[in-house]
Amino acid sequence: MESKTYKLGDRLVLKKGHPCGTNDWEVVKLGADIKLKCRNCGRLVFIPRIELNKKIKKIIEKENEDAS
């Protein structure tokens, strides 16, 4: 299975939408479980890393502010 790497601040698009109507999430905390914040309503959820790897559609990496 392909191992995905996440960084704090990365935006994730999941396959299934949140009840508030969006599927856009931000990585808030890393570990065995990953804490995500809904970018529409602000809801926080913990998802096990293995489960998240299956639910992810696309990773939008955090833009580096130092780059010119």
Mean pLDDT of the chain, nearest integer: 87
* SS3 category, 38: strand
Residue range 15-44: mean pLDDT, rounded: 93
Based on its alpha-carbon atoms, the radius of gyration of the chain, rounded to whole angstroms, reads 12
Q: How confident is the model at residue 2 (pLDDT cuts 50, 70, 90)?
A: low
Q: What is the pLDDT of residue 68?
A: 45
* Residue 46 in tokens: 């913990």
**Distance between CA atoms of 3 and 24, rounded to whole angstroms?**
21
